[in-house]
Structure 1
């Protein structure tokens, strides 16, 4: 099961590290407690939209970019890719013969 708070934390951490910023720097700029931001990054705390927006701004990243990256990560876990293709983790019964071999519907 994918947890949104973990994906959000991973995306925020990734942006922070790419910019070479410390938790302390981002927390101060976003006016968020250092310990709270740490817990958000580790996926241990849910983040409000207001705080998420402040942290994104402190990182110099548009909130829409953060949300798109989170969405892409969740879609990947669900087997949905950028072109909206759904790839199930099992083979549909219509493609399996009684002998257990794949067959084409076409």
Structure 2
């Protein structure tokens, strides 16, 4: 099952790490507690829109870019977990094999 909060947390963590910043630096810049930001990044807490905007601001990252990245990750996961439709024999084929 896809958890949006987990995908969002992964995107935020990857961006923070790519900037070479610590949780402490980003939590201070976003005015969010260190523990709460850590829980958001681990996908344990769902960030409100206000909190998300604050974290994105601290990362100097547009919210639309974060949401786009999350959307792409969800699409990939959906594609990997989508059921595969197997071709079913036609009813004529079943009748012929029974005879």
TM-score, with normalisation over the residues of structure 1? 0.78
CA distance in 2 between counterparts of 1:49 and 1:70 reads: 15
CA distance in 2 between counterparts of 1:13 and 1:50 reads: 18
The equivalent residue for 1:39 is 39
Q: Which has the higher contact order (CA 8 A, sep 6+)?
A: 2
Consecutive unaligned residues of structure 1, counting only runs of 5 or more, are 81-86, 99-106
Larger radius of gyration: 2
Following TM superposition, where does structure 1 have runs of at least 4 consecutive aligned residues deviating by more than 3 angstroms? Answer: none
CA RMSD, aligned part only?
Answer: 1.8
Consecutive unaligned residues of structure 2, counting only runs of 5 or more, are 91-99
Residue 78 of structure 1 and its aligned partner are, at CA, apart by 1.1
Whether 2:70 is the aligned partner of 1:76: answer: no
The equivalent residue for 1:58 is 58
Residue 96 of structure 1 and its aligned partner are, at CA, apart by 4.0
SS of structure 2 residue aligned to 1:79: helix
CA distance in 1 between counterparts of 2:39 and 2:9 reads: 8
CA distance in 2 between counterparts of 1:88 and 1:43 reads: 23
Which structure carries more helix by proportion?
2
Q: May I ask how many residue pairs the two structures share in their alignment?
A: 90
The equivalent residue for 2:96 is none
1:11-50 mapped onto 2 (5 Å cutoff):
11-50=11-50
